[in-house]
Amino acid sequence: MMNHHNELKRTIGLPQAIALYIGAVLGSGVLIVPGIAAEISGPASLLAWGLMTLLVIPLALSMGLLSAKYPNAGGVSYFVTQAFGAKAGSLVGWFFLMSVPIGAPVVALTGAGYMTAAMGWGNGLRVALAAGMLVVGLLINLIGMKVAGQVQIVVEVVIIAVLVIAIIGAMPYIKSANFRPFMPHGWMSVGQTAAILFWCFIGWEAVSHLSEEFLDPQRAAIKGVLITAVIIGLLYFLTAFVTVGTHSYQESGSDVSLVLLIRKLFGETGAMIAGLTSVFICTATIIAYVGAASRLAFALARQGDAPRQMGILSKRYSTPIGGLGFLTFCFIVVLSLYYSGSVSLTTLIQLPNATFILTYLGGCAAGIRLLKGSVWGVGICWLSFLSTIIVFPFVGWAVLYPLVITAGFWISRQIRSRTQYFRNISE
């Protein structure tokens, strides 16, 4: 059933790449953030959305350019290795790898939470539905990224269709009075909103780990991120526009404004449509991130920076079954802790923030060095690096998580170094 081959199959074309990019970036934020942003800065939140839509293009392109030039399952970890050496690359790899075991269950619980709230189900069913979403992500990635990409295309078509129908359906309810006063809380509120919106546009780093499986890395990576950035930007901005224009964010909670809007448009069936939409959106994100993390686990094991069991490939599908097994174990632990009440969803959400940002900073810094032959490529990476570093201080206490990972990484390297030293002496 399993083998230790060192290559992944090239099966991902441009349509599948775009679907995977959309799945990684268009997450649960589209359900929650438009309303929260409007509550913070009112109609002026649209300025923040427009600004972030423009700023996300260099962030996306920096990952796309690096993926095109250095297609490798290690993704950002591999880019950092090429720029700053194996130790730095491996550490950044572990930052991302240890983000997904927490981040994916959080996404699953978010999507399941909307569905259970819409249907009136309890917390037990919420955890069960979240577990089912994670299982779907694991199984699709076991079968292979070609299948994952095809499933993503279907899922994204459904998601985009629901969002477009909601946007069009909301147009008659838009009133000009809802855009006045335009900036009720001043310019500072727009800046605060922009910082929050940053989280709606992360995900480009995840697909870089799948670049080794692109049929045409140059085309899939660069064209893929550009097309995706346009689609994502338009969907987010138009969703925010109708949220502000219909004033749905002040009806009964900004964090469910889109759900309220869908319910208003579709009547009694609106609740189920809103719940299913949230499940589809979050499952698409899970598929992309499980694919990225399992490939990264394989890459780290291949270069000796992770247990060799993580480098095991399925003989039938040539997929990283070792990495998927590692993620399965982590998902079981995280969901069990949440179900028992030992840890809250709020705490879980905060933990991966610092590691995700550090992963981006590492990738952008690597791009500055590796893309020296391209003036605009280096400029894009500098812009991405500076915009990302501004956000880092806002992670607060969650910075402890990457510090723990760094300590564990250093200790494991010391143990391995000493083991090798004594082995050489004995020989």
Per-residue pLDDT of 211-221, as tens digits, reads 888 888 888 88
Retrieve residue 307's tokens: 């247990």
Q: Is 410 among the domain residues?
A: no
Grade residue 341 by pLDDT with cuts at 50, 70 and 90. very high
Q: Is 418 among the domain residues?
A: no
Please determine, for residue 239, whether its predicted confidence score (pLDDT) is greater than 90: no
Structural domain span for residue 83: 2-400
Please determine, for residue 269, whether its predicted confidence score (pLDDT) is greater than 80: no
Give 23 or 44, the one with higher predicted confidence: 44
- What number of other Cβ atoms are within 10 A of residue 186's Cβ? 10
pLDDT tens-digit map of 154-184: 777 887 888 888 888 888 888 888 888 888 8
Q: Is 365 among the domain residues?
A: yes
Q: Is 217 among the domain residues?
A: yes
CATH code for position 97: 1.20.1740.10
Kindly state the percentage of the chain with pLDDT values over 90: 30
Give 232 or 394, the one with higher predicted confidence: 232
Identify the pLDDT of residue 204.
81
Q: Is 31 among the domain residues?
A: yes
Q: Is 426 among the domain residues?
A: no
Q: Is 407 among the domain residues?
A: no
Identify the pLDDT of residue 4.
46
Please determine, for residue 2, whether its predicted confidence score (pLDDT) is greater than 50: no
Q: Is 415 among the domain residues?
A: no
Query: In this structure, are residues 298 and 322 in contact, taking their beta carbons and an 8 Å threshold?
Result: yes
| Residue 250 phi, psi (nearest 5) | -110, 10
Residue positions counted in the chain = 427
Give 135 or 346, the one with higher predicted confidence: 135
Identify the pLDDT of residue 6.
63
Measured distance CA(17)–CA(26) in Å, rounded? 14
Residue-averaged pLDDT of the chain: 84
Q: Which residues pair with 314 in a beta bridge?
A: 2
Burial 265-299 (b: 16+ CB within 10 A, else e): bbeeebbebbbbbbbbbbbbbbbbbbbbbbbbbbb
Q: How many domains does the chain have?
A: 1
Helix, strand, or coil here: 404? helix
